[in-house]
Structure 1
Amino acid sequence: MLLTPRVTLRTRSRTRPRLSRHRKAALLASAASLCLLAASAQAQPLGIGDRLFPYLGNPGYDVVLYDLSFTYPGSNEKPLQAVTTISARTTADLDRINLDFAHGTVQSVEVDGHPADFTSAGEDLVVTPEHPLAEGSWTRITVKHTSDPVAAKDQDGGWVRTTDGLAMANQADAAHLVFPCNDHPSDKAMFTFHVTAPNGYTVVANGLPTGEEQTGDTTTWTYRTRHPMATELAQVSIGRSTVLHREGPHGLAVRDVVPSADTKAVEPWLARTPDQIAWMESKVGPYPFETYGVLMAQASTGFELETQTLSLFEKNLFTETIYPKWYIESIMVHELSHQWFGDSVSPRTWSDVWLNEGHATWYEALYAEETAHRPMADRMKAAYAASDSWRAAGGPPGLPKAAAPGQKISLFRPNVYDGAALVLYALRQEIGQSAFERLEREWVQEHRDSTATTADFIRLASTVSGRDLSGFLKGWLYDEKTPPMPGHPDWKAADPTKSAKPALRHRAR
């Protein structure tokens, strides 16, 4: 849609001929049309050049804080009224500010308290402040808008409409379907959420609660993060829910959000979380955030998602009997491990997604091996057999092919899951278990609350092992064919012209 920019007409101080009322009106209308055309003609969608999502993110500024306000009308068939305030520092001189935003109506924009012109270009909201912004300055952008769950229902993410409310699933590039933002994981920021809903609903968001205020027939809930977060990891749950509290390792606050009618049925699963956190800490070190929990959504999404401090799961995963118990627990660990790999340490570009999913799949498989006697070697041997086919279909793990048109989540193919876990298995085979475990701990410690690249991982692996691993890892990450597996010369890759059998773990992201 075209967002109409504010038109500001300036007059000169010198004496001018007097104009009739009709002539003035005609000139004003003409000037407004010219301003609108000029703004639309000059505005264009920008991006930071991500290979897989070229128009995602925007150059010229670094977001420090998002302050998001949503008012839920009591129906997931109607838009939410919203206010997004972005505090950012400019990294270049800016005449305009591009924000990623789609599927909402913008009502007004202010920059540093002053009205600003705005228009749309592609999936960008293009804002022209009253005065240009100098490099190195701080700025505050306030956008009043709607956030429409109905418009986003046919997309691969954004608002997820549940049977009793809403939740978010913003990976990989869908946060801007919910709120204006710099929608790329390379620009992490702190978040504050204010969500107003009718009394009787429960609201939970990333981070910790800092306030709950009832006014008449509505309640406003406030949450704040204590660590920076990528936009794709934002989570707001609005529903007829119950919040269950328990204590994790070292007094960690664990809170789970479940449909009120299902609390008894799902409690045995949720009770496993503290021990799962302790297990992960034994592998890679302290849990990196202020809280954790499971959000069970009454929706059919086809995936689970590692939203920061509050992982999103389909409720039916726990209440139906499709999958064995050991597998469900391993999926819980998959999303939990993302809190270290993907959330605390986020990918610098989406081509680095194997660092997220490969590690989550690794710890999922390792947990199954140690707690359910499902040998890691068996799973990796099967992955090795399919690896050439996965590389042919989706690219090598470190250079995944772009998502299919209209199917953005098709980026999440087996090559970045079991195919990437196979890279880690090969690395452990090559440098030994002790060095590998030291590498994992140092990786999450060195890049905590930040972003990292594949090149960073290769450098650290070389440092920890005491030898140059660039050639070894680049072969495993970028070659069209799967290299020989160290220690397993008998492992063979299947013919890639034949279809590969899909892995069991297709649900988790």
Structure 2
Amino acid sequence: MLLTSPRLRAALLATASATLVAATLPAPAPVALGIGDPLFPHLGNPGYDVLAYDIALTYKGDNSKPLDAVTKIDARATQRLERVNLDFTHGKVRSVEVDGARADFATAGEDLVVTPREAVEAGSRVRVTVTHTSDPTGGKGGWVRTTDGLAMANQADAAHRVFPGNDHPADKAAFTFRVTAPGKLTVVANGLPVAKTRNGATNTWTYRTRHPMATELAQVSIGESAVVHREGPHGLPLRDVVPAADRAKLEPWLAKTPAQIEWMERQVGRYPFETYGILVAGAETGFELETQTLSLFERSLFTRPEYPEWYVDSVMVHELAHQWFGDSVSPRAWSDLWLNEGHASWYEAMYAQEYADKPLEERMREAYRLSDGWRAAGGPPAAPEPPAPGKQISLFRPVVYDGSALVLYALREEIGAGEFRRLEREWVRDHRDGTAGTADFTRLASDIAGRDLSEFFEAWLYGRRTPPMPGHPDWKSAAVK
């Protein structure tokens, strides 16, 4: 028996009433979050670090129909989370579990907002399992429908049109893919094969990466493909994925890869991943893409007669160079894109100079002539203008390609070829399997040069006008109209 005074009883009743009112107030509405990337404000999500993705996809042979999918995300909370936001759109969510228990979910913008039964405490590990569909129709990136199946093109912000996750390159993770497809089709994904099991009329293919990967670099190819195996430097397993009918026609191009890898290793050091190869897709994308360990190419690049051999070779080296610059060392923010594309364009040009007698200096002088116009149209290399609304691929402008390779040329002229080569090798060694940004690169360059290069980089990376080229006072940039 508990006896209380009238005053105490009134106080207890007031407290209970306030608690009841608080308990019945609706929770705040789900909102889309982001990690604050200036170019993609709603991309990525705060509060956790993804450790691994396990993505199961079921393809029934019709690339106009949604795939059934289950995505498991293992993460570590970096703060207390009442809700877990995931980037996901263009698919139907059927259920969500958090650590095996059903969880409520809602959508807000292009976020899937998950409310677990209990808050996820900071420092704890959590598994979020989403059962959903993955829709290959509608364009705008993500799935690419090919003449015989599907491939992926997730750059820059389209992986969340395929699977839920933390869709920003700052959060890299391990990946496992388990893809079920009709028995006549071949499935290849990032990394190396783990298993293939037959289930009646279908096969389930399992692939796993050995190195962390950004979501934008995920690749799954499903089609009537031939997989061509060969050996690269140091016993590196190479595998190319091509339309089966084109295997013989494409072999002269595929055979070039081992020597191209050897050439890149002479420039910057050992190839950073467990395998490499090219994926030739029967699709017109308008671009090639450095998906990790399996670069995506349009079939027409290798079959159109107007493309000279040196040009195709250079494009192949461009995507190969990305395995070091952009894949192994990923950008911390999308404004660091110049580090990816500038370096890939640089080694593309260096290769063309060495093997096709296309002088680097001539290409850079022409880039200098056009540079002010590129900066006016798209911003300076390290501070690009945001992409046009609904056209994220418009971020990939000339200023981030040859306009950024021009910065590297100026840097080599400023510090000398020997120090520049050392910078390149140390950059990919120090940041292997990680993320790094512009400030990291400029700091390392200053350390290697033995002097402060901040004024040099401020002008070349952020100036609206192209600075004078070291060693070439006669170079002029065309007037901007």
Fold-level similarity (TM above 0.5): yes
Deviation at 1:176, TM superposition (A): 0.1
Which of 89, 92, 95 aligns to 1:105? It is 92
Counterpart for residue 9 of structure 1: none
Q: Distance in 2 between matches of 1:346 and 1:146?
A: 28
Counterpart for residue 14 of structure 2: none
- State yes or no: 1:281 paired with 2:265: yes
Deviation at 1:320, TM superposition (A): 1.2
- State yes or no: 1:232 paired with 2:202: no
Deviation at 1:454, TM superposition (A): 0.2
Q: How does 1:50-129 map to 2 (within 5 A)?
A: 50-129=37-116
- State yes or no: 1:330 paired with 2:314: yes
Counterpart for residue 495 of structure 1: 479
Counterpart for residue 347 of structure 1: 331
Q: Once the two structures are superposed, what CA deviation does each residue of 1:223-265 show, in whole Å capped at 9, x if it has no partner?
A: 0000000000000000000000000000000000000000010
Q: How does 1:377-456 map to 2 (within 5 A)?
A: 377-456=361-440
Which of 242, 246, 259 aligns to 1:258? It is 242
Q: Distance in 1 between matches of 2:355 and 2:219?
A: 30
Which of 273, 277, 287 aligns to 1:303? It is 287
1:44 counterpart letter in structure 2: V
The 3-state SS of whatever aligns with 2:350 is: helix
Q: Once the two structures are superposed, what CA deviation does each residue of 1:317-375 show, in whole Å capped at 9, x if it has no partner?
A: 00111211101000000000000000000000000000000000000000000110000
The 3-state SS of whatever aligns with 1:300 is: coil
The 3-state SS of whatever aligns with 1:292 is: coil
Q: Distance in 1 between matches of 2:263 and 2:269?
A: 10
2:92 counterpart letter in structure 1: T
Which of 120, 130, 154 aligns to 1:133? It is 120
Q: How does 1:171-210 map to 2 (within 5 A)?
A: 171-210=155-194
- State yes or no: 1:271 paired with 2:258: no
Counterpart for residue 133 of structure 2: 146
Deviation at 1:429, TM superposition (A): 0.3
1:288 counterpart letter in structure 2: P
Q: Distance in 2 between matches of 1:205 and 1:283?
A: 28
Counterpart for residue 244 of structure 1: 228
Q: Distance in 2 between matches of 1:282 and 1:154?
A: 39
The 3-state SS of whatever aligns with 1:258 is: strand
Counterpart for residue 36 of structure 2: 49
Deviation at 1:115, TM superposition (A): 0.3
Counterpart for residue 215 of structure 1: 199
Q: Distance in 1 between matches of 2:40 and 2:185?
A: 36
Please provide the CA RMSD for this pair.
1.1
The 3-state SS of whatever aligns with 1:186 is: coil
Which of 441, 453, 456 aligns to 1:457? It is 441
Q: Distance in 2 between matches of 1:405 and 1:192?
A: 33
Runs of at least 4 residues off by over 4 Å: none
Deviation at 1:42, TM superposition (A): 1.3
Deviation at 1:306, TM superposition (A): 0.1
Q: Once the two structures are superposed, what CA deviation does each residue of 1:296-315 show, in whole Å capped at 9, x if it has no partner?
A: 00000000000000000001
2:252 counterpart letter in structure 1: P
Counterpart for residue 351 of structure 2: 367
Counterpart for residue 27 of structure 1: none
Q: Distance in 2 between matches of 1:184 and 1:335?
A: 20
1:47 counterpart letter in structure 2: G
Counterpart for residue 4 of structure 1: none
Q: Distance in 2 between matches of 1:73 and 1:332?
A: 32
Counterpart for residue 467 of structure 2: 483
The 3-state SS of whatever aligns with 2:312 is: helix
Q: Once the two structures are superposed, what CA deviation does each residue of 1:250-287 show, in whole Å capped at 9, x if it has no partner?
A: 00000000000000100000100000000000000000
Q: Distance in 2 between matches of 1:322 and 1:353?
A: 30
Deviation at 1:405, TM superposition (A): 1.3
1:165 counterpart letter in structure 2: G
The 3-state SS of whatever aligns with 1:42 is: coil
Q: Distance in 2 between matches of 1:73 and 1:268?
A: 33
The 3-state SS of whatever aligns with 1:130 is: coil
1:441 counterpart letter in structure 2: R
- Give the count of matched residue pairs: 459
The 3-state SS of whatever aligns with 2:97 is: strand
Counterpart for residue 294 of structure 1: 278
The 3-state SS of whatever aligns with 1:43 is: coil
Q: Distance in 1 between matches of 2:451 and 2:317?
A: 32
Q: Distance in 2 between matches of 1:168 and 1:154?
A: 11
Q: Distance in 1 between matches of 2:288 and 2:399?
A: 18
Deviation at 1:407, TM superposition (A): 1.1
Q: Distance in 1 between matches of 2:139 and 2:196?
A: 33
- Identity of paired residues, percent? 69
Deviation at 1:154, TM superposition (A): 2.8
Using the size of structure 2 for normalisation, the TM-score is 0.95
Q: Distance in 2 between matches of 1:470 and 1:457?
A: 11
Structure 2 gap ranges (5+): 1-22
Which of 147, 150, 161 aligns to 1:166? It is 150
- State yes or no: 1:314 paired with 2:298: yes
Deviation at 1:38, TM superposition (A): 4.7
